[in-house]
Amino acid sequence: MDLPDRYNVGADLIERNLPQRSAKIAIHTATADLSYSDLFNLTNGAARSLLDLGVRREERVLIAGYDSPGWVAAFLGAIRIGALPVPVNPLLQRSEDYDHYIEDSLARVIVVDGNTEEKLAPAAARAPIKPQLLRSDKVVPDQEIVAAPTRRDDMAFWLYSSGSTGKPKAVVHLQHDIPYTCVTYAEQVLGITDKDTTFSTTGLFHAYGFGNNLTFPYWVGASTVLHAGRHTPATVLDTIEKRKPTLFFSAPTLYNAILNFEGAKSRNLGSIRHCVAAAEALPAEVWRRWKDAFGLTILDGVGSTEMLHIYCSNRLDDVRPGSSGKPVPGYELKILDVEGQPVAQGEAGDLYVKGDSALALYWAQHEKSKHSILGDWFFTGDRYRVDGDGFYWYEGRSDDMIKVSGLWVSPIEIESALLEHPAVAESAVVGMSVDGFTRIKAFVIAKKDAVTGDALVAELQEHCKSRLQRFQYPHLIEFVPDLPKTVTGKIQRYKLREKEATPA
C-alpha cells in the first residue's frame, strides 16, 4: 500500500470517483438512485449535521439504522470530520440491547432512522452521558466540508464483534485498513471493476456487508444495491432480477434457504458473474446444489471483523467445494498446536492470520487484545487444517470442537453430512455431557414433507456413519423448528449448549 501519511479514507472513497464518474449511479434503492455527485453532497450534509451537533475529532458516532444512502453518508461524513463512526445492528429487539454499545463507545451522537428511533431514543435517555439523535433520512445535501487531516494510522471507525459469548467487543480499525482490503481481496480475488454492480444480503453494519456494498464498489467506482430491512429468499430473488447485480454476496444459510424456496430454480440470475459466501462454512452439498440449479460457482471464504474482510478464499479457477480456499494475496496463514508449534500437514490446529487490515486493538479490552494480537499475527479462534494442495478446511471454533473418547470431532463435518440427507433442511451439532461422558447431539430442522421420529433418527445416524468415521455421528437427535443464529446467519452453538445445560 502506497498511501500518504495524511490520509482520510472517508474523503477518498467518494472523491476518487469525482469528477470522472460524477453522474454515475453509486447507489440503487427502492425509492431513488444516487449518483456519486449526489452521494458526495449528501456526505457533506451529514458531516455538517455532525459538526452542528458539536461532534469533534475522534468522538464516536453510533449508527443504528437500516442500509440506506443516509447510513452511508453518516459513516463517510463522520470519518470526513475525523470522528469515529460505530455501526451496530439495527435489528436488535429491545431498547435495552443498545445500552452496552452506547456506554462502551461513549457516543456523542446516535444516527437513527424511522425504523430504529423508537428503540434508540429511550436508550439514549438512559445513558449516563446522554448522546443526541440524528435522523439519517433527514440529512440534506450541503457544500463541501474540508476533510480532517487525519493520518493513515489514525483510528477511522469501530465495528463490534459479535463473539460467541459475552458482550460484544469494539474492534478498532485504522484509516489504511479499508484500502488494504480493496487492493487484496476485492481486486485480486473478485476482480471488481467500475462495470460491476454489487448486492449483499449482509447489512452494512457487519464487516462482510460493509466491504461488499460500500468500500469495494466505491474504491473502483462501481454501483451498489441497498435493500432496507430483512432479506428473504423472495426479496433476494426479486432484487436480483430487477437490479441485475454482477457480484452477489450472501451467507450459506441464505443460499440454502433460496435453494429450498419454491420456484427458485426458474428465476433469472443471469446477470451474476460471481457469488460469494462467508460468515460461516459453506457445505459442499449447498455448493453443488447451487451450481446445479443456477450454473454459478460460489466462492467461499473466511474473514472476520478483526481482519475487516475475507483473507482466505476459493477462486473461480481454483476451487475446492467445502473448503475456505487459499490465502488471499497480501495475507499469510499458519496453523499451530496448543504449544504454539506448527502442526503436520492435514492435522487440525489453531489458525493465525497476518495482514495489514488487522485491528489495532479491542477498545477497553487490554487482556483480550494481548491474548489475540501477537505481534503481526492475529489469533482467530478458528480451528483449521490444510491439505496437500494448500486448501484450508474449517474444523469449527476452538470452543466448538467436540472430544469424544479421546478423539476430536468437528461439528461442521457432521452438519455437512446431515445436510446431504434429503429429509434435512438445516442442522447444528454440539457436544453435551451425559452421565459424565461427552456425547454428540444434533438439532435438526426437517424438511416439511419429512416424517420425524425414531425411524428417521436411526436413518440419519446410519447416514452419518456411512460418510464419516464411525465415531463421527450424532448419538442424540432432536427435531426443532428453528436454530439460534446471528444476524448474518451464523449458528450460535453456544446457545444450544446453554439450553442443554439449563435444568428443565
Q: What is the pLDDT of residues 42-62, one digit of tens each?
A: 999 999 999 999 999 999 999
Cell for 190? 473478485
Q: Which of 346-360, 396-410, 481-495 has the highest mean pLDDT?
A: 346-360
- Distance CA(474)–CA(437), nearest Å, equals 14
- Distance CA(280)–CA(252), nearest Å, equals 7
- In this structure, the number of other CB atoms found within 10 A of the CB of residue 478 comes to 14
Q: What is the pLDDT of residues 317-359, one digit of tens each?
A: 999 999 999 999 999 999 999 899 999 999 999 999 999 999 9
Element (H, E) at 74: helix 69-80
DSSP symbol at 427: E
What's the mean per-residue pLDDT of the chain? 94
Percentage of the chain beyond pLDDT 70 is 98
pLDDT at 164 over 50: no
- Distance CA(476)–CA(332), nearest Å, equals 39
User: Could you tell me the pLDDT band of residue 501, with boundaries at 50, 70 and 90?
Assistant: low
pLDDT at 163 over 80: no
pLDDT at 77 over 90: yes
pLDDT score, position 229:
83
Q: What is the pLDDT of residues 241-252, one digit of tens each?
A: 999 999 999 998
pLDDT score, position 1:
80
Cα four-point dihedral sign 444, 448, 453, 459: negative
Domains and CATH numbers, the chain: 9-175 (3.40.50.980), 178-397 (3.40.50.12780), 402-501 (3.30.300.30)
User: Could you tell me the pLDDT band of residue 503, with boundaries at 50, 70 and 90?
Assistant: low
Cβ burial, residue 70 (10 Å; 0-12/13-18/19+)? buried
Largest CA distance in the chain: 70
Q: Which residue has the higher pLDDT, 405 or 64?
A: 64
Cα four-point dihedral sign 23, 29, 30, 31: negative
Let me know: does 496 contact 484? Beta carbons within 8 Å: yes
